[in-house]
Structure formats: C-alpha cells, structure tokens
Amino acid sequence: MHAKARNRSDTTQNQQNDQTTKDAKFSIGQVAKMTGSSVPTVRYYDEIGLLSPAEITPGGHRMYTAEEIWRLKLILTLRYLNFGIDEIKRMLAGDIPVDMAIEWQIEALDLQMRTLASMKSILEQTKKSEGDSLSYMHELIESISEDALEREKFILEKMFSSVFPEQFPVEWREIVLLGVNISSLLEGKLSAAQTAALNELEEMFNDPQIVREMRHDVMSFLEVVHLPKISVEMWTARMLKNHKQLLKAAEQYATPDSPVVQANIQEYVLLFADVEELPVSQSFFRRFAERLLSNQSENLERFRRICSILYPGLQSYMKTNELFYQALQWKLQQMDKE
C-alpha cells in the first residue's frame, strides 16, 4: 500500500517538474549554452523569422521556453546536415514534406561526394606528375573542361531529340523543357560540381523510363498549348515577367493562397488559353492544372535540380517552381469546395 502511494506521489512530482520545466523561461545566453550554440546565432535566427522568442521583456531581453529550445535543437541538427536556412524555414512551416527535403539532401550529398572524388583524382594525378605541378594541374583542368563542354552539347542534343516528337517546333524545344534558352548558358568552363551534375544528366537520359516520362510530359503540354499563336520571343518576354513576379513573392515568403501568387497563376494560365483577358474559364483552368500536376514525378524534379547545378542561372526557377505547383494545387482544392 505504501509503495503504491509512493509511486503515485512520484508520478505527481514528475508531472509537476515537467510542467515547471515547460513553463520556465530562459535567457538567450542560457539557451545558447544549453544547445551548444552562440548568442549571435540565436539572435540571427530571430531576426530572419526562424526562431522567435516566447517573450521579450520590457527591458528588451529575449526569453525562451522549452518549446523554442526544442525548435532550436532541431534547426541546429538540420544545419549540421547542411540544410539551407530557406529549406529549414519551409520544412518547419510544413511547406516542404520532410521526406522530400531529405531525399533532396541525399542527392545533393551524393553529388558533393562525386565532386570531391573528381577533385581528388585531379590532385592525385598532379602529385604523380613531374616538373611544374601547377602548370600540369592547369592543363589537366583545361582538358577536362573542354571535354565536358563537348559532352554537354552532345547530351543536350540527345535529350532534345529523344524527348520531343517530330511535330514539336524546334525553336520551342529548349525554352519549353528548361524555361530558358540553353545556348545562352553554354559559355565558360564547368566547375567540378557542374561536371558531376553533367554526369548525372547523362545517366538520366540513358534511362528509357525517364525519357518516357519526359516525353509524356511534353506530349501533354502539346494537348493544352497552341504554340503557333505566339512567337518564341513574345513567350520568353511574358514568361520572364511572370517568373520575376513569382520570384519576388517567393522571396517575401508569400503563401500559395496569397492574392499576389494566385494572380500570377492566372496570368500564367492565360498564356495557354484562347482568351485575352482574365480570368480564364474554370473548365480550362481545371483541365490545365490537373494536366500539369499529374505529370510531376520524382525524375522530373531530379532533372530540374541537376539542371540548376549545371546552370546556376536556373536556381531561381527552382524556387518559383515549387510555389507555382503549390498554388495550382490550392486553387484546385478551392474549386472542389465550390
């Protein structure tokens, strides 16, 4: 009997201790020490909206509870694993599924490992060389870069010829597949990371399944787009304007349901519709959105990520691409409720 009473007393005491810990508030210095971080780091996370304190005292001191400390530990763990600040913010907000973010990070680390292996190979070859090591290293990298550029052109030609049907206008192929004119991105030498990305791209287009997926995506595009009604130049200008608007919204952390993002989506869909004014018809929007969303796959996402490494100028497109598809999905959900 006494043992049972003592156990109940211990349980009650533990619950009280847990509640006391939960309600306790800690200064920024204490939090930094408890998490192995630093005061400037914790303060920076507050400034960028990643970790807000539970309370700011009348004297301007930040105070944190156990909940914020746990969030900080999670942030520090993700930073240790090399996740970017923007990725972490979106993961914690639920904008990016954690599994998807982890998969992206694994791919990025695989690429980094191949990049380091390539750099190590160059250094090992240089070490074995006789004479001027620095000159040999320079000549070796020049040779690798020239070979990579030739391979890049060959892979792109193979990619376009395998993905696009014969009836697809040649002048539209580059801009439809990547959103930009590839010929403007082929200048200069490739870095080690870009060379590794090129190897990844070559592997993708040696995979018949991936080629089939991309070809299906292009064929679906043809079903909803009337390419002859607009010139490549006009399309490029309007797409660039649309992209800049969406990028600005993304940088300001606009949500998919925000008016500015939804207006941007309507303007984009208008490019594909046989109308001149907004809004486009509900039936066309649904057909267009469902077609785009149904064509998304892990391989297409992987293709875009690899291209953003190979062509740094495409990185902003990756940022807007995610927001774009989230906005399409949100709009469809609202239409289903109506």
Residue 112, both tokens: 């980094």
What is the reported pLDDT for 262? 92
Q: Which residue ranges form the domains of the chain, and what is each CATH number?
A: 24-93 (1.10.1660.10), 98-336 (no CATH)
User: Would you list the DSSP string of 11-37?
Assistant: HHHHHHHHHHHHH--EEHHHHHHHHT-
Instruction: Tell me the mean pLDDT in the region 194-217.
Output: 82
Query: What phi and psi, each to the nearest 5 degrees, are found at residue 165?
Result: -70, 160
User: Which among 45, 89, 134, 71 has a CA at the least distance from the CA of 319?
Assistant: 89
Largest CA distance in the chain: 88
Percentage of the chain modeled with pLDDT above 70: 81
- Reply yes or no on whether the pLDDT at 208 is more than 90: no
Find the angle CA(68)-CA(72)-CA(77) to the nearest 5 degrees: 150
- Give residue 20's pLDDT: 45
| Residue 159 binned pLDDT confidence (cut-offs 50, 70, 90) | confident
Say what the pLDDT of residue 16 is.
Answer: 43
| Cβ proximity of 219 and 181 under 8 Å | no
- pTM value is 0.57
Residue 46 is predicted with a pLDDT of 92
Write the pLDDT tens digit of every residue in 283-321.
888 888 888 787 777 888 888 888 877 777 777 777 788
**pLDDT score recorded for residue 304:** 81
- Exposure b/e, 87-114, CB count within 10 A at least 16 = b: bbbbbbeebbeeeebeebbebeeebeeb
Q: In what order do the strands lie in the sheet with 26-27?
A: 26-27, 62-64, 55-56
Residues paired with residue 63 on neighbouring β-strands, in sequence order: 27, 55
Lowest mean pLDDT among 122-126, 197-201, 215-219, 259-263: 215-219
pLDDT at res. 1 = 47
In the chain, the percentage of residues whose pLDDT exceeds 90 is 16
- Can you give the length of the chain in residues? 338
- Which residue is associated with the tokens 């990371």? 193
When the pLDDT of each residue in the chain is averaged and rounded to a whole number, the result is 78
φ and ψ at residue 258, rounded to 5 degrees: -65, 145
* Per-residue confidence band for 75, with pLDDT thresholds at 50, 70 and 90: very high
The tens digit of pLDDT for each residue in 36-67 reads 999 999 999 999 889 999 999 998 899 999 99
pLDDT the model gives residue 2: 52
How far apart, in whole angstroms, are the C-alpha atoms of residue 206 and residue 158? 10
Range 62-83 average pLDDT: 90
The pLDDT value given to residue 15? 47
For residue range 279-288, what is the model confidence (pLDDT) as tens digits? 778 888 888 8
Whether residue 196 contacts residue 118, with contact meaning beta carbons closer than 8 Å, is answered with yes
Listed in order, strand segments (DSSP E) in the chain are 26-27, 55-56, 62-64
> Which sign does the torsion angle of CA 164, 167, 169, 172 carry?
negative
Stronger pLDDT, 182 or 69, i.e. the higher one: 69
Is residue 127 very low, low, confident or very high in pLDDT (cuts 50, 70, 90)?
confident
pLDDT, residue 54, reads 92
Structure tokens at 251: 């940088």
